[in-house]
Amino acid sequence: MRLFIMSVVAVLLALSCPFSMSEVLKTFGKCSEFFSEGQPPVIPGILNPNSDHARYKKICQKYSFTSVGSGYMFATLYDTESRIPVFSAYKYTGRGNFDRPHIPWKIEPQLDPHVGDMTAPYKNQAINEDYFLNDYGMNRGHLFPSCHAANVFTAESTFTLTNIVPQYSAFNAGGWNRMEIESQESMNTNCTDNNGKVLAHVLTGAIPGKNKLNGRVNIPSYMWMAFCCYNSKRLWVSQAYWALNKKERDDEAINKTSLQKLQQFLSQNWVENVQLFNKCK
Ligand SMILES: *[C@@H]1O[C@H](CO)[C@@H](O)[C@H](O)[C@H]1NC(C)=O
Ligand SMILES: *[C@@H]1O[C@H](CO)[C@@H](O)[C@H](O)[C@H]1NC(C)=O
């Protein structure tokens, strides 16, 4: 009977969170296109570009978009202890014309290869249930937001829990949403090439905080975002933002700033000597 119940639980878990097809890899080599100049950021102690890390896992986020096609959509560095991503990296090429997808959230089976061990399922990642019934007023906040996707398949691919952090709903719908719109306008204006095409490389991340959701998932203190592009005026352009993940709704402007200032902020509040892009300074 006990075994039966356990397998029912396993099936239910699997049903509520379909598996992603993404790949957890030693390097970001297969998905280097999502980094400016193919170069992942420098984050001392957290990102070893050429080797595996016990805690911080590199994910090339793969998505099957038709019955025959699949491809890499973005890249994520995932913190298996805090159970939130460090960052997601993606290309912004202009927003596509589609409605926000409504699809089930996915989990990453390769992060928990021993999930058959039902005493400690999903030790290395957050699952959908972690986000249920919380009294914090938290919801699932995207790092790569579906509204920055070029097409509906890319937008769908962002609905994976390895791209998600606990975000206060007022902040998610308020200041952070304004940041997503404002950065989009800024990239549309400043990141156009000679043929009128938009291309920017974006990094969005979260700084771990002191509290946990469901006793398991770190609630970030701050979220940040930066883009870097080379435009038709033959200039490298960047812009950066950060904001406090806070409960109260307010209309305070988010911190729109230079890349350099954001890197200073990250050094003071997180890890020293972070270098997000190699061409944009
Ligand atoms: C980008 O474009 C906006 C207008 O949308 C402008 O106000 C802003 O100064 C530009 N940013 C950079 C970094 O050039
Ligand atoms: C901007 O950053 C400061 C810390 O440097 C923080 O106190 C303030 O709340 C931030 N603003 C927003 C809207 O998050």
Q: 221-248: per-residue pLDDT in tens?
A: 999 999 999 998 889 999 999 999 998 8
**Residue of 183, 188, 189 with the most ligand 1 atoms within 8 Å of its CB, for mutation:** 189
Does the pTM surpass 0.85? The reply is yes
187 in any annotated domain: yes
d(CA 264, CA 28): 25
- Sorted by sequence, the CB contacts under 8 Å of residue 4 that are 6+ apart come out as none
Asked if residue 47 has pLDDT above 90, the reply is: yes
Range of the domain at 189: 2-269
276 in any annotated domain: no
Q: What is the CATH number of the domain that holds 202?
A: 3.40.570.10
CA distances (Å), origin 165, targets 222, 260, 279 = 11, 25, 28
Nearest CA to ligand 2 atom 14: 243
pLDDT digit string, tens, across residues 188-208:
999 998 888 999 999 999 999
140 in any annotated domain: yes
The distance in angstroms from the start CA to the end CA of the chain is: 61
67 confidence band (pLDDT: 50, 70, 90): low
- Run of H or E residues at 71: strand 70-79
- Sorted by sequence, the CB contacts under 8 Å of residue 42 that are 6+ apart come out as 273, 274, 275
191 lines ligand 1 (CB under 6 A): no
d(CA 186, CA 235): 15
d(CA 17, CA 266): 33
255 in any annotated domain: yes
- Ligand located closest to 268 CA: 2
As to burial, measured by CB atoms within 10 angstroms (0-12 exposed, 13-18 middle, 19+ buried), residue 41 is buried
237 lines ligand 1 (CB under 6 A): yes
Q: How many domains does the chain have?
A: 1
